[in-house]
């Protein structure tokens, strides 16, 4: 039911416009983060993959994305086409989810999530895939992986009816993107030069700072109004990220006898990804535990990836995939209705069945994202080559695919 414009909560609406802007900023932040980690010859090639999602995902979201995610399909896998091209959504329509913000604000906020999710995957196959194949991937993956899980969990679909929770994207964003990244790595194969080093660690730091900053909108904004849960999600986010940062730094310092800046920055992203599904459902005392576990588990996931010789160049699986799965499982441990009545009780509060549901849901989502992505790449490769030639890779994709250079000759 659409309500009168006079019922809008201006405070919550203003906050959600800010949160939407923060989440939008995360995609350029991701581009800087990945761009700094890439080699000098592949900076633009990885950055354009994030920035093109800002444009193309918005087009898809307006045409069919929002409708497939948030229109009809109650208890199902996907929505319907009732709201294509924003059909039936007037500028003064209020979002029926809470009756406090305009639906167009909710539309915009969720669009920013859709933009960054497939962009996360790109770090895994940096300097190895053609732009044409990535563009097809960006389109199909959203429609057949991202949209169904948004609908099933946040759009009143199958998993929501079953009682699965995901506050801001542990399953919907990080688990699906992380395991899609692993499938991409296994399909595309390794780089010619596996020992490539970051071209600009300061650029990585700028990207990491923008991501951390934007994550407050990502998590706190997922309450879609301003109340005590909004504040809880905000602080849980920062605490978990901080504990994960120091945990990763400490482990790496002990093992390599030097404190590594890239490791510290990577640890912060691991903590942010892991707290995401939990942020508005768990008590404050749980966030340090979640952060420490994130730093430790994601660090060793990356070490395991290295041992297995999976060439996940920028550790998307180890950070986002493992972080999203871990956070979803820990939500099944620490969630409490005393904290958020709209949530559930985790296993330590007697909610054993909820824990099992979280475990099954995140395992199924990860497996589906992995299998579908691998099969999709096989099909795309029949349409257009997925992997660049060895000559193009050695030349660098900035020049061979885009005809541009990030820096003038002799700089950096």
> Helices (DSSP H) in 38-146: which residue ranges?
43-60, 66-70, 103-121, 131-141
pLDDT of residue 2: 45
* Matching residue, tokens 């979280």: 358
Residue 89: both structure tokens together = 């959504």
* Among 194, 330, 320, CA closest to 266: 320
If DSSP codes are grouped into helix, strand and coil, which group holds residue 387? strand
**What backbone phi and psi angles, to 5 degrees, belong to 409?**
-55, 135
**What is the C-alpha to C-alpha distance for residues 1 and 184, in angstroms, rounded to an integer?**
42
Structural domains in the chain?
5-399 (1.10.3430.10)
- What average pLDDT does range 279-288 have in this prediction? 98
Model confidence at 356, in pLDDT bands (50, 70, 90)?
A: very high
Please, what is the end-to-end C-alpha distance for the chain in angstroms? 57
User: Does the predicted TM-score (pTM) go above 0.85?
Assistant: yes
Q: What's the confidence (pLDDT) of residue 408?
A: 76
Q: What is the dihedral of CA 309, 172, 39, 291, to 10 degrees?
A: -80
Question: Could you tell me the two tokens for 178?
Answer: 């992380």
Q: Is 170 exposed, middle or buried (0-12, 13-18, 19+ CB in 10 A)?
A: buried
With CA atoms as reference, report the closest residue to 349 among 274, 271, 273, 286. Answer: 286
Whose CA is closest to 402, among 47, 111, 125? 47
Segment 73-115, tens digit of pLDDT: 999 999 999 999 999 999 999 999 999 999 999 999 999 999 9
Higher pLDDT, 7 or 159: 159
Q: How far apart are CA 324 and CA 366, in angstroms?
A: 10
- Give pLDDT tens digits for 310-341: 999 889 999 999 999 999 999 999 999 999 99
- Poorest-pLDDT segment among 185-199, 307-321, 398-412: 398-412
pLDDT in tens, 130-150: 999 999 999 999 999 999 999
Closest CA to 198 of 245, 250, 253, 261: 261
Q: Give every CB contact of residue 386 below 8 A, 6+ residues apart in sequence.
A: 129, 130, 133, 187, 188, 377, 380
Residue 20: strand, helix, or coil: helix
Which pLDDT score is estimated for 3? 46
Helix (H, G, I), strand (E, B) or coil at 9: coil
């Amino acid at each position: 039911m659409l309500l009168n414009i006079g019922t809008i909560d201006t405070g919550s609406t203003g906050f959600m416009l800010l949160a939407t802007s923060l989440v939008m900023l995360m995609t350029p932040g991701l581009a800087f983060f990945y761009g700094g980690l890439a080699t000098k010859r592949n900076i633009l090639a990885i950055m354009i993959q994030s920035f093109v999602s800002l444009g193309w995902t918005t087009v898809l979201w307006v045409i069919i994305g929002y409708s497939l995610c948030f229109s009809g399909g109650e208890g199902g896998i996907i929505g319907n086409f009732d709201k294509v091209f924003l059909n039936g959504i007037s500028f003064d329509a209020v979002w029926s989810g809470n009756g406090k913000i305009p639906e167009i604000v909710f539309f915009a906020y969720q669009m920013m999530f859709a933009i960054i999710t497939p962009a996360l995957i790109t770090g895994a196959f940096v300097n190895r895939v053609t732009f044409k194949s990535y563009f097809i991937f960006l389109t199909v993956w959203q429609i057949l992986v991202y949209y169904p899980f948004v609908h099933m969990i946040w759009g009143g679909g199958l998993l929501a009816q079953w009682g699965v929770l995901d506050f801001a994207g542990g399953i919907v964003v990080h688990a699906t993107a992380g395991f899609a990244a692993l499938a991409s790595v296994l399909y595309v194969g390794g780089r010619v030069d596996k020992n490539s080093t970051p071209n600009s660690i300061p650029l990585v730091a700028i990207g990491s700072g923008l991501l951390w900053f934007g994550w407050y909108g990502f998590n706190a904004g997922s309450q879609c109004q301003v109340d005590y849960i909004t504040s809880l999600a905000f602080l849980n986010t920062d605490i978990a990220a901080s504990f994960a940062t120091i945990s990763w730094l400490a482990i790496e310092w002990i093992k390599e006898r030097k404190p590594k800046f890239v490791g510290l920055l990577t640890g912060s992203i691991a903590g942010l990804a892991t707290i995401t599904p939990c942020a508005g459902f768990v008590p404050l005392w749980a966030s340090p535990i979640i952060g420490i576990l994130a730093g430790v588990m994601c660090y060793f996931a990356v070490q395991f990836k290295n041992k297995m010789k999976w060439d996940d160049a920028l550790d998307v699986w180890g950070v986002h995939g493992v972080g999203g799965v871990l956070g979803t499982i820990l939500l099944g441990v620490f969630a409490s209705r005393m904290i958020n009545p709209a949530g559930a009780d985790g296993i330590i509060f007697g909610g054993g069945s909820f824990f099992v549901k979280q475990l099954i849901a995140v395992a199924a989502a990860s497996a589906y994202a992995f299998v579908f992505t691998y099969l999709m790449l096989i099909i795309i490769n029949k349409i257009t080559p997925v992997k660049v030639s060895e000559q193009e890779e050695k030349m660098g994709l900035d020049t061979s695919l885009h005809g541009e250079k990030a820096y003038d000759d002799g700089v950096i």
